Structure formats: structure tokens, C-alpha cells
Amino acid sequence: MSAHFLEKGIDTSHTGILYVEDLSVNFDGFQAINKLSLTIDVGELRCVIGPNGAGKTTLMDVITGKTRSAIADIDGSVYLGSTIDLMTMNEPQIAQIGVGRKFQKPTVFEQHPVWENLELAMAGDKSWHHSLIAKVDIEGRQLMEAVLALTQLESEAYRQAGLLSHGQKQRLEIGMLLMQQPKLLLLDEPVAGMTDEETMRLAELLNSLRGQCSMMVVEHDMEFVAALAGPKGKVTVLAEGSVLAEGTLDEVKRDERVIESYLGR
Ligand SMILES: Nc1ncnc2c1ncn2[C@@H]1O[C@H](COP(=O)(O)OP(=O)(O)OP(=O)(O)O)[C@@H](O)[C@H]1O
Ligand SMILES: [Mg+2]
């Protein structure tokens, strides 16, 4: 899978892939997000940490169009690249333009073999399927092979998805998102309920996507965060709906306010 399509058609020259500015979300008087600003670079893997209720999931809900003005007062800007205003779009449109979201519980087609799950996920993008119908067989197969390799599911390709382990299902679901060639992947607590070994495999998978796909990963498991951020990756700490700190994992771990509000002493 080549890197170029992951930002194709999106102007990211000034803003990175995701640009959030002064975002506020108020649920019936409760300020879940409070003037939050954040930028994610093209190809970056950004970890977002913070205490329960900090607004991490709400941030993803707004980016993906799940939370809109019908259920909350929303203010501020959310852009994909510098020109695509996500606040004017609904959930299917945002998915279609290349923002993939991984929920905590894997949602695979249990009765179908692994490869068919991937095929079905690809067909989900109708415009691509129809406009490139002649090329889909070759390109689609190449993409599927690349995704099977990335997710370390090659040996499971013909197995029924329902028979996979929890960790394998999680990787399959990420594979299904990759079949849609996302520009930005959002993952909310992807290792919850996984064994240590599965957790490290997922870290390996996400690390291998670095540079191909931009990612925002919310997680409480600090070993997993350390494996993703490495010594130089940027980590964002949210608290009470705002960015409390941003820096390398070492930097934010030393930050007094972060220790106070999240990590404890
Ligand atoms: N639809 C909603 N209506 C009312 N309040 C909401 C709604 N969605 C979220 N909230 C509130 O907004 C706050 C932020 O919640 P959110 O789920 O974003 O936190 P979080 O950082 O993801 O926490 P956790 O680490 O526990 O997953 C919480 O106090 C939550 O109760
Ligand atoms: Mg959450």
C-alpha cells in the first residue's frame, strides 16, 4: 500500500491533516469541550491521553460527525486539511471523505471469512468501486494482500471472522478501515480488553502505518502509549475539555499539572 493516496486531493500544506481550533461542546449546560485547539500532521500518529470525562471521545464524536448541533451546542472549527470543513458535513460524508473510526468493540461480519470482510469493507466505498470497476480486481486484490500482511492475518484469510481471537478481530477491523484507504484514522481505546501480547501486536501494526496514514489514538494503557509515541512522538493531554499539555511522553509525564490531574503521584 503506497502512501500517496492517503492525502490525495486534500490540501494539507498549511494545516496538517486535522485542524481543530477553539472547539467548544456544551451538552445542556455541561461544558464537555472547552476551547480545544489541536493540529495533527500528515502521517503523524498522535496519542491523546487524559482522565475519564476529559472529552476525548466527545472530540472524536465531533470530528466524525456523530455529535452535531441537534444534541449539543458546538462552536469552533474542525477541518480536514485546510479546506474541508467537517462541521458542515454529516457522518456518512465524513467517512466517505476519508476519516475512519475504530470503536472499542470490534464490529466484523462474524459469519464471513476474513478476506470477505475486507472485500465487503472495500465495496463500502461505492464511488471508488464503480468508477474504477475495471481496475478493482487487480488493485483491490493487491490492496487486500497488503492489508492482510499489515494486520498479520495472512494465515487467517480463509477463516470465519467469528472464530478469531479478540486481538485478531481488532486487527481485522482496522484492516477493514484500511480497505477504504483512510486519510485519518481515529482509534478510541483500541487495546481495552486485550492481552499484553495482543496489545504489543497492535502497537506494531499502528507503528507500521505511521507515515502512510495519519492517526489519533486515545488510550489509557501507558505502555501502549509509550510503544506508539516512542521517545519523540507528540502526546496530547486533555483535561476538562481542553489541552492541558502537549509534548513528548517524557515531557508530559514530568508536567506538574499532568501529574496532578491524571497520572497521580
Ligand atoms: N451525549 C452526551 N450528553 C451529555 N453529556 C455527555 C454526552 N457525551 C458526553 N458527555 C459528557 O461529557 C464529558 C466528556 O465525556 P467523554 O466521553 O468525551 O470523556 P472521555 O475523555 O472519553 O472519558 P473516558 O476516558 O472515560 O472515555 C463527560 O462528563 C460525559 O458525561
Ligand atoms: Mg472515552
pLDDT tens-digit map of 201-255? 999 999 999 888 999 999 999 999 999 999 999 999 999 999 999 999 999 999 9
Choose among 62, 63, 98: nearest CA to 184: 98
Please give the Cα distance from 209 to 186 (Å, whole number): 13
Q: Which tens digits make up the pLDDT trace of 151-205? A: 999 999 999 999 999 999 999 999 999 999 999 999 999 998 899 999 999 999 9
Which residues sit with their C-beta closer than 6 Å to ligand 1? 27, 30, 32, 50, 52-58, 71
Give the SS3 label for residue 188: strand
Chain-centroid distance of CA 208 in Å reads: 14
* pLDDT-derived band at 136, boundaries 50, 70, 90: low
Residue whose CA lies nearest to ligand 1 atom number 12: 32
Q: Which of 20, 28, 30 to mutate to test the pocket of ligand 1 (most atoms within 8 A of CB)?
A: 30
Tell me the CA distances in angstroms from 146 to 107, 150, 179, 208, one per residue in order.
Answer: 21, 6, 10, 12
Please give the Cα distance from 87 to 125 (Å, whole number): 21
Residue whose CA lies nearest to ligand 1 atom number 29: 53
**Ligand 1 atom showing the smallest separation from residue 220 Cα:** 25
Q: Which amino acid is at 100?
A: G
Domains of the chain and CATH, by start: 4-263 (3.40.50.300)
**Interval between CA 221 and ligand 2 midpoint (Å):** 13
Q: Which tens digits make up the pLDDT trace of 20-51? A: 999 999 999 999 999 999 999 999 999 999 99
Query: pLDDT over 70 for what percent of the chain?
Result: 90
**Interval between CA 139 and ligand 1 midpoint (Å):** 41
**Interval between CA 137 and ligand 2 midpoint (Å):** 39
**Interval between CA 198 and ligand 2 midpoint (Å):** 21
Strands 84-85 and 99-102, sheet pairing = unpaired
Please give the Cα distance from 78 to 21 (Å, whole number): 7
